[in-house]
Amino acid sequence: MSEKVKKFISENWDSCIKRNRNDEDTLIGLPYPYTVPAVGHFDEMYYWDTYFTNKGLLLDGRAEQAKYNVDDMLYLVNRYGFMPNGNRTYYLTHSQPPFLSSMVRDIYEYYNDTVWLYAAYHMLEKEYDFWQTKRTLAIGLNHYDSEMKNEEMYQDMAEDFERRAGFMPHVEVHTLGRHYRTTAESGWDITPRWDYDAFQYAAVDLNSLLFMMERNMSFFAETLNNGEESIWLDRAEKRKKQMLDKMDNGEGLLLDYNFATGKRSDILSAASFYPLFAGLAEQKHAEALVNNLDRLESEYGILTCEKNDAEGIYQWDYPNGWACLQYIAMVGLDRYGYKAEAKRIAEKYIKLVDKTFDETGNLWEKYNVISGGLDVTNEYKMPAMMGWSAGVYLAAADYLEK
């Protein structure tokens, strides 16, 4: 680990903190200071980015700011009934990967404030209801989706997909527009994981996170002694059973499941580490993924997707690597006893960030984990990044020091 990078991160957190209490134009005001992903590029907080950012804030002695971030999210859940992609009015059509219960658990385990947890628990119930009423399938699993007001919006989204991917698929405009907006909710905007109908997939990462939420809620219920812990455990076990039944490809790999066709994704992606991260996989699933690590691991870390021949330009694809996915893989592998592999992933991410920092003086949104550089597949000009790049760097360093 480079002390230069660690010092850079510590000195730059403050430049990523915004204080906007009042609604202004599209920006939704928040009651507490909040963390944005990068200096000069954003005025809004992003949902799933903040989970990884908070890991870094907690490790760097900034627990108060981590708690502010979570309190701002709880405020948004209370105001809108769910946690939107970020605090912008144009993000009120969709959410992002539901990490909030895990963020609440991190803050509770730091402060041990049961009065605060009592209020947070009821906000999390609201978020859970959103996923169970707005994003649920008949098979008992959940999917990413989006809500648009009129057909013109689907046309706009389809055209935006064409602009970013560099081509127009031969599918209906409505389907493509809905697919594109759905990938925004998944956080993987855009990716070849799901063909052009992401909304028809029970995503392995989403359902793993909801399993974690159900387990977290059981822990919170037991802590609060409200008698609801078994309800949440039953929900988690039902989800686990359905996931292992529908998502296993027959070789032990857990993949996204298309509930309309009954088929699984043709592309192995880093999303398959989420069942390990959540602790719902059986040992055989972890073993199967480790046996296929060569499809996702490169010299500088974990690939977003294995190499594939999908048409178009996708930033959530080969050869790009994202900080968040290095963390999910590292924690998941460690959880199932693959500590050497977890350590190797952590070391590769540290080496990659140190190398590019020496070359550029910055951390970045994503990296090419084949070349170890910034020659990434881009759909827009890539910004320098603190956020999850910094948070995961500190988490990987902390893991290696234990």
Query: Is the CB of residue 284 less than 8 Å from the CB of residue 252?
Result: yes
User: Considering only CA atoms, which of 320, 379, 305, 381 is closest in space to residue 352?
Assistant: 320
pLDDT at 1 over 90: no
Q: What pLDDT score was predicted for residue 2?
A: 85
Distance CA 200, CA 142 (A): 10
Q: What pLDDT score was predicted for residue 372?
A: 98
Q: How far is CA 143 from CA 132, 257, 379, in A?
A: 10, 10, 25
Q: How many helices (H) and strands (E) does the chain have?
A: 14, 9
Place of tokens 């627990």: 63
Here the tokens at position 319 are 């050869």
Here the tokens at position 160 are 């935006």
Q: What is the pLDDT of residues 35-58, one digit of tens each?
A: 999 877 789 999 999 999 999 999
Model confidence at 21, pLDDT cuts 50, 70, 90, reads very high
pLDDT (average), residues 21-33: 98
Bridge-partner residues for 365, per DSSP? none
Q: What are phi and psi of 384, to 5 degrees?
A: -65, 150
Q: What pLDDT score was predicted for residue 255?
A: 98
Which residues 6+ apart lie within 8 Å of 33 measured at CB?
17, 18, 19, 65, 68
Containing 72, the helix (H) or strand (E) segment is: helix 63-80
pLDDT (average), residues 96-101: 98
Q: What pLDDT score was predicted for residue 83?
A: 98
Distance CA 320, CA 316 (A): 7
Here the tokens at position 83 are 């946690």
Q: What pLDDT score was predicted for residue 293?
A: 98
pLDDT (average), residues 291-303: 98
Q: What is the pLDDT of residues 220-251, one digit of tens each?
A: 999 999 999 999 999 999 999 999 999 999 99
Q: What pLDDT score was predicted for residue 377?
A: 87
Distance CA 130, CA 132 (A): 5
Residue of 145, 189, 248, 334 marked active site: 189
Query: Is the CB of residue 253 less than 8 Å from the CB of residue 274?
Result: no
Q: What pLDDT score was predicted for residue 18?
A: 96
pLDDT at 347 over 80: yes
Q: What is the pLDDT of residues 263-284, one digit of tens each?
A: 999 999 999 999 999 999 999 9
Q: What are phi and psi of 117, to 5 degrees?
A: -65, -35
Q: What pLDDT score was predicted for residue 396?
A: 98
Model confidence at 165, pLDDT cuts 50, 70, 90, reads very high
Is 248 marked active-site? no
Is 189 marked active-site? yes
For a pLDDT cut of 90, what percent of the chain falls above it? 94
Query: Is the CB of residue 14 less than 8 Å from the CB of residue 62?
Result: no
Q: How far apart are the first and last CA of the chain?
A: 13
Q: What pLDDT score was predicted for residue 385?
A: 87
Q: How far is CA 372 from CA 270, 300, 329, 352, 369, in A?
A: 18, 6, 18, 6, 5
Q: What pLDDT score was predicted for residue 116?
A: 98
pLDDT at 124 over 80: yes
User: Considering only CA atoms, which of 277, 281, 280, 294 is closest in space to residue 333?
Assistant: 277
